[in-house]
Amino acid sequence: QAGAQDNTTVSALDWLKKIADSSRTVSYAGTFSYQHGRRVETSRVVHYVNQAGGVFEKLETLDGPPREVIRANDHVTAYLPDSKLVLVERRSTRHLPMMLPDKLSDLNSQYEVKTQEIDRVGGLACQWISVTPRDKLRYGRKFCAELESGLPLRAQVFNERSEILESFGFSQLSLGSKFSKDQVASKYEARAQAQKWRVDHSALNVMEQAADTGWTVNNVPPGYRKAMEVKRTIVGRPVAMPHLVYSDGLTAISIFIEPKQREIGNKPL
């Protein structure tokens, strides 16, 4: 029985590895919904990965105020037509639906990872994998991975009472589509230029530099390790802001430290 349990764990970890790899390598186009609490947002996405590893993506919201996000590797442009605003920034590549660890085997000490039933999402068969915490310090997760590619078709975050806090799922999906520049081109770019929408480049002035910030965190929860420590420079701020990230391999906690301004009368120093 112990041997069978070990095999199940290995199989489940292999599925998580497949999910992590597919999010970086599979091209797809489809419609998905994201739910957080009572808020539900539906979006259309086109995501292409070329052989050299370049990522091109177009994300368009279908609910509420229109918003379109165009990505070419780490260069991201967001169009907000209601505000006549274009936001330009550099951002590390985002992979749907959530972060997964580099060393999946490290999850075993903090989570129980199991394969569950075969299901169907958006007309495609998928394998459910559950990641259940062994304590009450973190949330659990479930993924349903498409059988061939491993792309997560549905994902859920749940608490200790098995209540779903956050969910993501495709309602329609096409895998392995051929690349077409037209499909990842902005439908607002020409209008934004003609109508002279305001272009905000301020996010490009945010700089990160790996450094010893001089800050330490005591009583870190079991399994969490420092994953990143940088000094973040933001235009308009007098000093660089320390930023520390701790992760257990599945979830991450960000800590920003901003010096409190001392005041003399009504004037900050």
Q: What is the pLDDT of residue 99?
A: 55
Residue 150, SS3 per DSSP: coil
Closest among 36, 84, 91, 100 to 59, alpha carbons compared: 91
Q: Which residues pair with 85 in a beta bridge?
A: 80, 198
* Mean pLDDT calculated for residue range 182-187: 91
* Mean pLDDT calculated for residue range 7-19: 78
Q: How confident is the model at residue 202 (pLDDT cuts 50, 70, 90)?
A: confident
CB-hemisphere CA count at 13 Å for 172? 8
Q: What is the pLDDT of residue 267?
A: 47
Closest among 254, 197, 207, 266 to 232, alpha carbons compared: 207
Q: Are 118 and 127 in contact (CB under 8 A)?
A: yes
Q: What is the pTM of this model?
A: 0.80
pLDDT at 2 over 50: no
- Residue 128: Cβ within 10 Å count: 19
* Mean pLDDT calculated for residue range 249-258: 84
Which of 140-154, 201-215, 218-232 bottoms out in mean pLDDT, i.e. has the lowest? 201-215
Long-range CB contacts (within 8 A, 24+) of 225-232: 227/252, 232/206, 232/207, 232/208, 232/256
Q: How confident is the model at residue 157 (pLDDT cuts 50, 70, 90)?
A: very high
